Structure 1
Amino acid sequence: MALAAIYQGVPEDVLLAIAEKKTTKEAWEAIKIMCTGVERVQEARVQTLKGEFESLMMKDSEKIEDFCLKLSGIVTNIRVLGEAMEESSVVRKILRAVPDKFLQIVSNIEQFGDVKVMLVEELVGRLKAHEERMKCRSEQSEQQQLLLAKKWKGRLDKSKIKCFNCNIYGHFASECDKPRRKKEYCQEANLAHFHDDEPSLL
């Protein structure tokens, strides 16, 4: 009766493995060995995931949302395997893993926020807001640089510029349609001389 009770209480794959056992003790020992093996595999998997969790760092070109989704996947797998992973540990990991461009907001969060009780969602929201502000500033800076370059180019008199590729005035070496001079061109491609001993222009 005890053996029948064991048969009814185990999954089908385990049942097939213990079907040939003649006594309850033999069946129970077989189940114990199988469960121990499964636990060891789970422990090894948890250690691997913890290693991935600790080593994961956000790249400069990566978005905060994409990085946090990746990190969240690792945390979920650790928790599914029965290992506790505190919210504060995940928050601290994100603060350590973000690149230097987040240094200011990270310092503010650590100084004025309560990291011990902060939710991951709250932290990600703050970092995303900071990311958007940086993006806007970067776009404005690029527009200003393009306007400045356009303004400078409009004022530039190329008739005084000597090409170091063909030695003809009126264009830069980078704009020259003549065959490239190898060594000399590489050394002087970014230089231009003016007539009448005027200073060189980088």
Structure 2
Amino acid sequence: METGYIEPNLAPTQPDNQLRQTRKTDENTLFLIQSALDDKIFPRIATTANSKQAWDTQKQEYLDNKKVITVKIQTLHREFETLAMKEKEYVKEIKSRVSGIVNHVRIYGENVNNEMVMSRVLRSLTKGFHHVVAAIEESKDLSTYNFDELMSSLLANEVRISTSYEKVEEKAFQDN
């Protein structure tokens, strides 16, 4: 007896598989975008439904219109030019600040000269580093010396100074 009932094909069709795969890829992409963002930007894309919306939001955030970009670059240049190491600041902190400024300027498409960055860092150091600055300027060619080498030299000097200071403090404490 024919009832007119056709058994449905329970196996997913090719378009269904392709749609699932596309959605899975989009979810993975959205996850990667979200995990790469810092805490300041994440809330702006937290409610986006797909990776395209998240990407467009980021693009708008980082690649605003030309006037906004120009103002941001000017602000970064001002920060860079007024950079000065604070009295109780460590070398790794100044390194982090300089790297952040330089990386942001590069994100906006400007080339930052390595020699200019190194000169700025050397001028921004506290009095405690003046002898090191003089030694570096006399012995190194800043056009070939790189930022990481400079920071390593400054960190090594900072460790030497703090170690000798601790020894002096220890000796003074023992003398009393």
Same fold (TM over 0.5): yes
Q: TM-score range by the shorter chain?
A: 0.5 to 0.7
Q: Which residue in 2 is equivalent to 1:64?
A: 91
After TM superposition, the runs of 4+ consecutive aligned structure 1 residues lying more than 4 A away are: none
Cα RMSD (Å) of the superposition?
Answer: 1.6
Give unpaired runs (5+ residues) of structure 1.
Answer: 1-10, 13-36, 150-202
- CA distance, structure 1, for counterparts of residue 111 and residue 74 of structure 2: 12
Which one of the candidate residues 61, 64, 73 is aligned to 1:46? 73
**1:83 aligns to 2:110 (yes or no):** yes
Q: CA deviation digits over 1:81-136, x for unaligned, max 9?
A: 11111111111111000101011111000011111221100000000000000011
Corresponding residue pairs, total: 115
Which one of the candidate residues 91, 98, 102 is aligned to 2:129? 102
Which one of the candidate residues 154, 157, 163 is aligned to 1:136? 163
Q: TM-score, normalised by structure 2?
A: 0.62
Q: Which residue in 2 is equivalent to 1:112?
A: 139
**1:123 aligns to 2:147 (yes or no):** no
- CA distance, structure 1, for counterparts of residue 112 and residue 66 of structure 2: 18
Q: TM-score, normalised by structure 1?
A: 0.55
1:61 is matched by which residue type in structure 2?
K
The percent identity for this pair of structures is 30
Q: Which residue in 2 is equivalent to 1:73?
A: 100
- SS of 1:85's partner is coil
Give unpaired runs (5+ residues) of structure 2.
Answer: 1-51, 54-63
Higher relative contact order (CA 8 A, sep 6+): 2
Q: CA deviation digits over 1:44-92, x for unaligned, max 9?
A: 1100110011112111211101111111101100111111111111111
- CA distance, structure 1, for counterparts of residue 93 and residue 79 of structure 2: 16
Q: Which has the larger radius of gyration?
A: 1
Q: CA deviation at 1:40?
A: 1.6
Q: Which residue in 2 is equivalent to 1:193?
A: none
- CA distance, structure 2, for counterparts of residue 112 and residue 136 of structure 1: 25
Q: CA deviation at 1:148?
A: 1.6
Q: Which residue in 2 is equivalent to 1:148?
A: 175
Pairing of 1:1-12 with structure 2 (within 5 A):
none
